[in-house]
């Protein structure tokens, strides 16, 4: 692990408090906050990589204490999706977090989070059915609901999310505004492989051919940015330029490539203000995401 840069032996501190129950997590975070600590939360589904760790670094830089949650949330997976085979490596994740001097790890089981089927859901209307929400019905309802639960359980001052999941970030920001959560939401930049592929726990599913083809997501975004920099502002033309890269690959199936308002996720026809270009594509059964920001 040390050889791939995840574990910094020099900063090793064996202390990370692992909380498996809501009660233990709440007691631990309250104890920290009572001492005056500004607490940061990094919600994850585990199988940690450098993308997750960039959020941990941001949290450590901005907070006195850091909590990470690891929970593969069943309610954000559709019936035919990869919930059962989603990569899980709890021991390795613990070791990584221990070596990053994370203070608290909240790792509940599904029964702890959902002792009975939920009757109450958080649905961010108008945003939850856009981008990934269109091809994954119910996904963002599951995400918003579990993040709301995590916010109530951990009671962090600040929560850190990756720009990699830009629609998720927009939905959480809107939920926090609408429901007056007392948490500050911080978005962190996308961490990439040297060839541009955005890091994702799902990259582990890719075979060598799919792994190579997966860089096309990033390349299509780069092509759009080039067209944009040379003055093109019509979304239709920008999207067509990006699609030309993606259609060349027989093993890649495009889910969507859209230019949207970064807050409302509504489609944009002409890029006259800051916009989000978001792409999702299947490589075999694996669905990958990427995005970039267009700044006029």
- By annotation, the residues acting in catalysis are 52
In angstroms, rounded to a whole number, what is the distance separating the alpha carbons of residues 265 and 287? 20
**What number of CA atoms fall less than 13 Å from residue 40's CA on the CB side?**
20
Shortest distance in whole angstroms from residue 271 CB to ligand AMP = 24
199 touching ligand AMP, by CB under 6 A? yes
206 touching ligand AMP, by CB under 6 A? no
Q: Which stretch binds ligand AMP (CB under 6 A): 26-34, 60-68, 190-198, 256-264?
A: 190-198
Cα distances (angstroms) measured from residue 231 to each of 12, 68, 93, 167: 50, 42, 45, 26
293 touching ligand AMP, by CB under 6 A? no
Query: Among 198, 278, 279, 289, which residue sits at the site for ligand AMP (rule: CB under 6 A)?
Result: 198
140 touching ligand AMP, by CB under 6 A? no
Taking CB under 6 A as the rule, which mask of x and - marks residues 157-186 in contact with ligand AMP? ----xx-xx---------------------
In angstroms, rounded to a whole number, what is the distance separating the alpha carbons of residues 147 and 270? 33
290 touching ligand AMP, by CB under 6 A? no
Query: Among 22, 41, 53, 55, which residue sits at the site for ligand AMP (rule: CB under 6 A)?
Result: 55
Q: Which stretch binds ligand AMP (CB under 6 A): 50-58, 90-98, 244-252, 255-263?
A: 50-58
| Structural contact between residues 90 and 70, judged by C-beta atoms closer than 8 angstroms | yes
130-148 as b/e: b if 16+ CB within 10 A: bbbbeebebbbbbbbbbbb
149 touching ligand AMP, by CB under 6 A? no
Q: Kindly state the number of chain residues that form the binding site for ligand AMP, as judged by CB under 6 A.
A: 17
C-alpha torsion angle, residues 121, 124, 126, 128 (rounded to 10): -70
Q: Which stretch binds ligand AMP (CB under 6 A): 47-55, 57-65, 78-86, 129-137?
A: 47-55
If the CB atoms of residues 42 and 259 are measured against ligand AMP, the closer one turns out to be: 42
Window 5 to 44, contacts with ligand AMP (CB under 6 A):
44
If the CB atoms of residues 26 and 192 are measured against ligand AMP, the closer one turns out to be: 192
Give the binding site for ligand AMP (CB under 6 A).
44-45, 51-52, 54-55, 161-162, 164-165, 188, 190-191, 198-201
């Amino acid at each position: 692990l040390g050889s791939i840069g995840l574990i910094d032996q020099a900063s090793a501190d064996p202390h990370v408090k692992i909380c498996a129950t809501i009660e233990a997590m709440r007691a631990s975070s309250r104890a920290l906050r009572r001492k005056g600590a500004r607490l940061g939360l990094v919600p994850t589904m585990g199988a940690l990589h450098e993308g997750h760790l960039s959020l941990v670094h941001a949290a450590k830089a901005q907070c006195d204490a850091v909590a990470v949650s690891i929970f593969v949330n069943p309610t954000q997976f559709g019936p035919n999706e990869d919930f059962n085979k989603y990569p899980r490596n709890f021991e390795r994740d613990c070791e990584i977090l221990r070596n990053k001097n994370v203070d608290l790890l909240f790792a509940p089981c599904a029964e702890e989070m959902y002792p009975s089927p939920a009757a109450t859901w958080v649905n961010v209307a108008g945003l939850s059915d856009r981008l990934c929400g269109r091809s994954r019905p119910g996904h963002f309802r599951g995400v918003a609901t579990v993040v709301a639960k995590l916010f109530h359980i951990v009671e962090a001052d600040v929560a850190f999310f990756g720009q990699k999941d830009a629609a998720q970030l927009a939905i959480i920001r809107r939920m926090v505004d609408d429901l007056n959560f007392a948490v500050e939401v911080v978005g962190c930049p996308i961490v990439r492989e040297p060839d541009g592929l955005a890091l994702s726990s799902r990259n582990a599913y890719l075979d060598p051919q799919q792994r190579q083809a997966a860089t096309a997501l990033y390349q299509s975004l780069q092509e759009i940015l080039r067209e944009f920099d040379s003055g093109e502002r019509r979304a239709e033309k920008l999207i067509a330029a990006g699609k030309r890269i993606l259609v060349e690959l027989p093993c890649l199936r495009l889910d969507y490539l859209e230019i949207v308002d970064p807050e409302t996720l509504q489609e944009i026809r002409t890029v006259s203000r800051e916009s989000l270009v978001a792409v999702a594509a299947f490589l075999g059964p694996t669905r990958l995401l990427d995005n970039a920001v267009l700044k006029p």
